[in-house]
Structure 1
Amino acid sequence: MTHTVTYRLLDDATKIRQVQEATLNTEEFGLQPTHGLHGTPEWWGNIASGVLPMHTLKGMIIKVYMGSMGDWPEFRVREEDGTESSWTREAQSRELDAAYQIGCSVEVDYVVERFKAKSWSGPEETKSVVEIRVGSACNEA
């Protein structure tokens, strides 16, 4: 099956810059630079070498919606084993955002990073999305 790359962190200079600024300039926000500062050549090198492991989630989109307070684009995925999870609907353009459709296969590449100690009271880790690919042929779920 053919997949369309809807999002690639490597091409998202704004997001990389925001995460770096939060990490470098605040105590309340940002990520621990354990494997290098997010988005830097050192960080990418640690992914390439496997020091910062890349994970790939594969499944089918079962819901496309606005989360949070109706202002955050999200999609829900069901993996083959029945596990479900929600992800931010990242897209490099409005046209690519339209690829997120119920019944489409999806692949999400991500790395697990730790938030800074004082960043917030939620989970200690986050799944940082590196790339999302959506299948071009979709079946209604």
Structure 2
Amino acid sequence: MLLKLENSKVPMQLVYLLSEELKDNPEQIVMTQSLTLDKSRPNMGLKGTNGLFGSKEWWNSIKQGKMPLLHVSGVITRTYVAGQDPSSVDNAFSLLLDDGSEVEESIYNYINYKDKKLFQKGAKVEIIYAYDELKRRNHNGEKAYLDIVLEMAVSLEPVE
């Protein structure tokens, strides 16, 4: 595990591990790897610089620090319904980061129901992202990356 929850000043609950999701949804690995290997789509999918998504090589690149990672920490400022699905259940949140910036993130459908209740205004969230290189370049011709949530934890109680 990359998150060091034992060092947190508030009790945290690990609510998401990509490794667990991929065990439950192996077709996600197959589809992502297929797109990476599809030479007829040179601007779609991951480049595979650090191994094929979900492979042992890919996970080793993360463990060895070859793939860039980002750790974000902040407090939920709001939860809301995102997307076009007419749902009354909040599935996204705004996170005010420790540096003062704000990001939007999803409350994943596969998070345990009791853990979804933790996503409330004032709760602390910690996320580890992997930045995996895309085949396409950005508008400046520079490398582009997909931010992939590897782990997510939420405080057991609001901190604010």
TM over 0.5: yes
Aligned to 2:97: 79
Aligned twin of 1:98: 117
In 1: Cα distance, 2:21 partner to 2:61 partner = 19
CA distance in 1, matches of 2:104, 2:31: 22
The answer for the alignment partner of 2:155 in structure 1 is 135
1-structure distance, mates of 2:54, 2:94: 26
Question: Match of 2:125, as an amino acid?
Answer: V
Partner in structure 2 of residue 23 of structure 1: 36
Which one of 38, 58, 65 corresponds to residue 73 of structure 2?
58
Q: CA separation in 2, counterparts of 1:66 and 1:124?
A: 28
User: Corresponding residue for 1:7?
Assistant: 16
What RMSD in Å do the two structures reach over aligned CA positions? 2.6
Q: Which moved more, 1:127-136 or 1:23-32?
A: 23-32
Q: 1:87 to 1:17 in 2, by over 3 A?
A: farther
CA contact (8 A) 2:118 2:157 kept: no
Give yes or no for the alignment of 1:36 onto 2:51.
yes
1:129 alignment partner AA: V
Residue of structure 2 in register with 1:125 after alignment: 145
Structure 1 residue 91: Cα displacement: 5.3
Percent identity, aligned pairs only, is: 25
SS in structure 2 at match of 1:117: strand
TM-score, normalization: structure 1?
Answer: 0.82
Gapped runs of 5+ residues in structure 2?
A: 1-9
Q: Which amino acid aligns with 1:5?
A: L
Between the aligned partners of 1:11 and 1:114, the Cα distance in structure 2 is 22
Task: Give the CA deviation at 1:74.
Answer: 1.7
Unaligned regions of 5+ residues in structure 1, if any? none
In structure 2, how many angstroms separate the alpha carbons of the residues matched to 1:16 and 1:134?
26
| Whole-angstrom distance in 2 between the partners of 1:125 and 1:48 | 18
> Number of residues paired by the alignment?
138
CA distance in 1 between counterparts of 2:32 and 2:79 reads 26
When residues 87 and 42 of structure 1 are mapped into structure 2, their CA distance, relative to the original with a 3 A threshold, is same
What stretches of structure 1 move > 4 A for 4+ residues in a row? none
Query: TM-score by structure 2 length?
Result: 0.73
